[in-house]
Amino acid sequence: MNNEWWQKGTVYQIYPRSFYDTNGDGIGDIRGIIEKLDYLAKLGVDLLWLTPMYVSPQRDNGYDIADYFNIDPQYGTMADFDELLEKAHQRGLKIMMDMVVNHTSYQHHWFQEALKGEDNPYRDYYIWKDPAADGGPPNNWLSKFSGSAWELDAASGQYYLHLYEVGMPDLNWENPKLQEEIYNMMAWWGEKGIDGFRLDVINNISKNPDFPNDSLATAQDDGRKFYVDGPHVHEYLHQMNRHVFDKYGLVTVGEMSSTTPEQCIKYTNPEREELSMAFNFHHMKVDYPGGKKWASAKFQLTDLKRVMTEWQLKMAAGGGWNALFWTNHDQPRALARFANDTVYREQSAKLLAIILFGLQGTTFIYQGEEIAMTDANFTDISQYDDAESRNAYAHLLADGVTAADALQILREKSRENARIPMQWDDTPHHGFTSGEPWLAPIHEDNWTVDKALANPDSIFYTYQHLIALRREHAIFANGDFRLLDAESEVIYDYAREWQNEALVVVGNFSEKEMAWHVPAQYQNKDCAILASNYGRETLENQVTLQPYEALMLHLK
Ligand code: GLC
Ligand code: CA
């Protein structure tokens, strides 16, 4: 039986930079998180995942770590962090650190040493190769941030690998000394009393030692098949588990890009002693035409259901554990993407919450989802701060896409959409800062935490209720999943079964009224409505679902 606290619990992701600023510099900070702990406790979440706040030149908002042992001054001090940890724990909230060990910042002292030449003891902490015969990069792998994944170091004439931003060199995990330094560093955080790690792009750490060229035939043939779920990754994670996770009782979630259910079962089946759970991103690619992210497209509900169902069924069959989410700091908001962020904004936010929270796995909420925040809706490239988005824009223009179309693509796809500051109240900048926010939306939006808290029917309380339900009823962690209608482009319905109980969840992903009926095998049972976004209190077997209506039924 799945009965761990984190299998019944919910994680709240904080993007500190955009959460709450207490000193008026326009950047959210640790003291801001401390001030909002009561708010988070009221929501009822179990665990706070904090995206990186370590010392960093911030070329990728902290995912480029220059010092793993210190807090970046723009977020506060280690004393602030210790206070956060203590005050969170007092409220029953656990803390999960974001840990990036696929790469460091180029400013990390290991890399600064490595740059001194091939004889330096730190040289081998990174991945260096001689140029190809034509003097160009050693192979044709592409960076996730556009262009080649290799950068020439003129002094030595060798290239270093950066699968991400050019200022983020990849670490060489084949080096046992590097492994040991990383495990010790993680243990240092374990000693401090943190409760878990979210492991950044962790399934990329083991590269194919031959570094072969890829075909570049499709958008996916960019080299990833040679480093995703690579040859030694399970070994490294098992070691990490033995040295750190198990020792400190940490809950862990791995960010797994371009992975498979088979691999994620290995990562998360407890018998293998690797991780607690895994994020996959296949459902985030249902609007990538031909696998291309930077293109405009609308998703099909049948694709979304197919992908989600595959992961529900396969992970359960293999004893793995999913991390469930609709968005995070790397994705646009889910509202416009999968439902509606205008006329049916409130209903859509609740619909997405109800659909996700009925599934098997650990549920994640990204800051602002609980008040139905929308995309940034930037209209000019100068408003974007994110390197990935800016690079993508430049490449779209170079490929002949018009500026207007490129901006439209960014408006749909840019991760910066989810990074605009939290909307706390009606004061200037929504109470996020008394200064100028580091990133500002141009649209006025009066949906705020204050208003959500004051309205007992708000989306905030839908989440609060769903979080409590998952803790209360064992069926959420244990029920067998069955998709009901695979064909409909409008209705998303599924059942979960466990012992003598069932959950039935249905959502209408359209603006039209839709006829729906309780599946025949459940019609004669006792039916309780666990969640409804239209305030339904009773139910006939035949229902006319309203626009974006969702229901969660409990049958016995
Ligand atoms: C992960 C992070 C993302 C970052 C990348 C490189 O995908 O979530 O924000 O840019 O890794 O560290
Ligand atoms: Ca600040």
User: Is the residue at 309 inside a domain?
Assistant: yes
Q: Please check whether residues 57 and 89 belong to one and the same domain.
A: yes
Q: Please check whether residues 157 and 269 belong to one and the same domain.
A: no
pLDDT tens digits, one per residue of 398-434: 999 999 999 999 999 999 999 999 999 999 999 999 9
Average pLDDT over residues 176-191: 98
**199 pocket-lining for ligand 1 (C-beta < 6 Å):** no
Which one of 60, 101, 258, 366 would you pick to mutate in the ligand 1 pocket, going by the greatest count of ligand atoms within 8 A of its CB? 60
Cα of 220 vs its chain's centroid, Å: 20
Which residues 6+ apart lie within 8 Å of 310 measured at CB? 261, 282
User: Is the residue at 475 inside a domain?
Assistant: no
Q: Is the pLDDT of residue 443 over 80?
A: no
Q: Which domain holds residue 509?
A: 480-555
Task: Look at the chain and report how many structural domains it folds into.
Answer: 3
Confidence of residue 129 (pLDDT cuts 50, 70, 90): very high
Q: Please check whether residues 19 and 64 belong to one and the same domain.
A: yes
d(CA 212, CA 408): 36
Q: Please check whether residues 417 and 551 belong to one and the same domain.
A: no
Q: Please check whether residues 435 and 287 belong to one and the same domain.
A: yes
Active-site annotation holds for 255:
yes
**165 pocket-lining for ligand 1 (C-beta < 6 Å):** no
Nearest listed ligand to the Cα of residue 437: 2
Average pLDDT over residues 516-527: 95
Active-site position among 80, 195, 255, 274: 255
Least confident of 46-55, 261-270, 441-450, 525-534: 441-450
Cβ atoms of residues 233 and 305 within 8 Å: no
DSSP H or E segment with residue 316: helix 301-317
Q: Please check whether residues 54 and 142 belong to one and the same domain.
A: no
Residue-averaged pLDDT of the chain: 97
DSSP H or E segment with residue 459: helix 459-472
Return the residue whose CA atom lies nearest to atom 2 of ligand 1.
Answer: 200
Residue among 139, 108, 142 nearest 126 (CA): 108
Q: Please check whether residues 354 and 375 belong to one and the same domain.
A: yes
Predicted confidence at residue 156, as pLDDT, reads: 97
Cα of 8 vs its chain's centroid, Å: 19
Q: Please check whether residues 488 and 427 belong to one and the same domain.
A: no
Q: What is the pTM of this model?
A: 0.98
> What proportion of the chain, given as a percentage, has pLDDT over 70?
100
Half-sphere exposure of 322 (CA within 13 A, CB side): 32
Q: What is the DSSP letter of 142?
A: B
Which of 437, 466, 495 is where one domain is finished?
466
Tokens for 199, please give them.
Answer: 């492991």
What's the CA-to-centroid distance between 436 and ligand 2, angstroms? 10
Which domain CATH number covers 538? 2.60.40.1180
Which of 466, 500, 524 is where one domain is finished?
466
Predicted confidence at residue 266, as pLDDT, reads: 98
Nearest listed ligand to the Cα of residue 163: 1
User: Is the residue at 474 inside a domain?
Assistant: no
Active-site annotation holds for 271:
no
